[in-house]
Chains A and B, each alone.
Chain A
Amino acid sequence: EAQVTQNPRYLITVTGKKLTVTCSQNMNHEYMSWYRQDPGLGLRQIYYSMNVEVTDKGDVPEGYKVSRKEKRNFPLILESPSPNQTSLYFCASSYKPGGYYNEQFFGPGTRLTVL
């Protein structure tokens, strides 16, 4: 089944403790991205990647890192999480950025709470 998977689905952590949220897709998509969703603010893009080893900042990149060493994986790294990073996080992928078929497919989300 074609899908985007995220792990963990739920995470409660404390300020300053490094964490990684994994994202994997099995559709051979070039493009992957991370979003956060907050009440009243909607979905905002954190980082995106056009292909392996190619990443760029979205609208709200501060406090986050990403890497794209393999086409299928795009982990989100919080080196020193803070309470303002408490949010619902989504990973997404699409076939061909800029091409005709670039429908975005989303993972199920990761609910992160930073105490």
Chain B
Amino acid sequence: KQEVTQIPAALSVPEGENLVLNCSFTDSAIYNLQWFRQDPGKGLTSLLLIQSSQREQTSGRLNASLDKSSGRSTLYIAASQPGDSATYLCAVSSGAGSYQLTFGKGTKLSVIP
């Protein structure tokens, strides 16, 4: 059964700092990996989707990498801002037909002005 782990569970950084969030998964037979952002009491907003054949994806200040063989992904946030404060979740699509999405428990990020 696929398991997804995110470390650290919480992270506090000063504004302007570059930071890395980590995601690891136990079964490397994935179809894709998706990073989400969740604000308190709100739904999930998709940030980046990396297909299993890709190594990285970029969107603005965000860069996500994928190393399928080692079961790891990182989300790099450049020049962090207070508006980046949220919980970041990674999820992997695996299983027959890629219908099953397994989430990590998230990293709660606080960017201090």
Compute how far the CA of A59 lies from the CA of B101 in the bound complex, rounded to whole angstroms. Answer: 10
The number of residues on chain A lying at the interface, defined by a beta carbon within 8 Å of a beta carbon of chain B, is 27
Of B11-19, B62-70, B73-81, B103-111, the one contacting chain A is: B103-111
B contacts with A: majority SS: strand
Of A11-19, A62-70, A74-82, A102-110, the one contacting chain B is: A102-110
**Whose C-beta in chain B lies nearest to the C-beta of A98?**
B98
Is A73 an interface position by the 8 A CB rule? no
Compute how far the CA of A12 lies from the CA of B44 in the bound complex, rounded to whole angstroms. Answer: 23
A32-43 vs B, Cβ < 8 Å mask (1 yes, 0 no): 010100001111
Tell me the number of A-to-B contacts counted with CB atoms below 8 Å. Answer: 61
A82-115 vs B, Cβ < 8 Å mask (1 yes, 0 no): 0000000010100001101011111111000000
CB interface residues, A 3-38, toward B, < 8 Å: 31, 33, 35
| Of listed B31, B93, B99, B102, residue having the most chain A CB within 10 A | B99
Known contacts being A90-B43, A98-B31, A103-B46, is A40 close to B101, with CB within 8 Å? no
- Interface range on chain B: under 10, 10 to 19, 20 to 34, or 35 or more? 20 to 34
Is B100 an interface position by the 8 A CB rule? yes
Compute how far the CA of A50 lies from the CA of B51 in the bound complex, rounded to whole angstroms. Answer: 19
Compute how far the CA of A59 lies from the CA of B49 in the bound complex, rounded to whole angstroms. Answer: 22
- B100: which of A40, A58, A92, A106 is its contact (CB, 8 Å)? A58
Compute how far the CA of A42 lies from the CA of B44 in the bound complex, rounded to whole angstroms. Answer: 12
Extra 9 A-B pairs, beta carbons < 8 Å, given A50-B99, A97-B98, A103-B46? A33-B101, A35-B103, A42-B106, A45-B102, A56-B99, A98-B97, A100-B51, A102-B32, A104-B34
12 A-B interface contacts by CB (under 8 A): A43-B89, A43-B91, A43-B103, A48-B100, A90-B43, A92-B44, A97-B97, A97-B99, A102-B31, A104-B101, A106-B43, A109-B42
Nearest 9 pairs of A and B residues by beta carbon: A42-B105, A43-B103, A106-B44, A108-B43, A98-B98, A103-B49, A106-B43, A109-B43, A42-B103
